[in-house]
Amino acid sequence: MQAPQKQLRPNVKRLNSIAKETPKTNPVKAKLKSVLQEKKEQIEADKAKDEIASEVKDAPKGLVTLKDLCAEDKQRVANLIKELARVDGEKESALSLLAQQKASYEDQTRILATEREKMRLEREGVEAQLRECQKLLENYQKTLKEQQEKKIIVIFSTVIVARRKTLATLLTLMLL
């Protein structure tokens, strides 16, 4: 009877660690807590059964049998056996449900990790495009400024040439 109890303890520890790792917003956490509570109750029931079994085991052989028990004790043994069968069934279904939920949680975690990686790559691509656009804008602004400076020089040159012509004309008129 001690072997199943030892086997259950690592499962309870594993459930405890999973429950602690699970985010508070995860609906699986509530189910894990209930499964954990059931496991604790099962361990307590197993301890009670072990105590009864050890009392019967410690009795001298051949003195105590099921036939020797009173009707009330026979009923208690029958109830304990039924309870053991029920708890064992619940344990199996809870472990099955836990395995399904764990697989689902792991799948969701993988999907989210994949989506996060895609988003990171997309962000890096957008940042690279932004840097390229900024360089193009800087080059455009530089080219535009140079063109404006050339236009101003051309305008000033035209004005200077026109003034020279005007001065030359005025000088020739004055000399005449």
Q: How far apart are alpha carbons 12 and 2 in whole angstroms?
A: 16
Question: What span, in angstroms and rounded, lies between the C-alpha atoms of 111 and 104?
Answer: 10
> Cβ distance 97 to 35 under 8 Å?
yes
Q: Given pLDDT bands bounded at 50, 70 and 90, which one contains residue 5?
A: very low
pLDDT digits (tens, 9 = 90+) for 54-89: 665 555 555 667 777 788 888 888 888 888 888 888
pTM over 0.75: no
pLDDT bin (cut points 50, 70, 90) of residue 41 is confident
Alpha-carbon distance 95 to 25, whole Å?
Answer: 22
Q: Tens digits of per-residue pLDDT, 99-153?
A: 999 999 999 999 999 999 999 999 999 999 999 999 999 999 999 999 988 888 8
Write down the pLDDT at residue 1: 42
Q: Are 90 and 40 in contact (CB under 8 A)?
A: no
* pLDDT, tens only, 9-28: 556 566 666 655 545 556 66
How far from the centroid of its chain's Cα atoms is residue 15's Cα? 18
Has residue 45 got a pLDDT over 90?
no
Spell out a b/e string for 140-150, using b for 16 or more CB atoms within 10 Å of the CB, else e.
eeeeeeeeeee
**Residue 29 predicted with pLDDT over 70:** no
User: How far is Cα 11 from Cα 9, in angstroms, rounded to an integer?
Assistant: 5
C-alpha span between 49 and 45 (Å, rounded): 6
- Identify the pLDDT of residue 2: 45
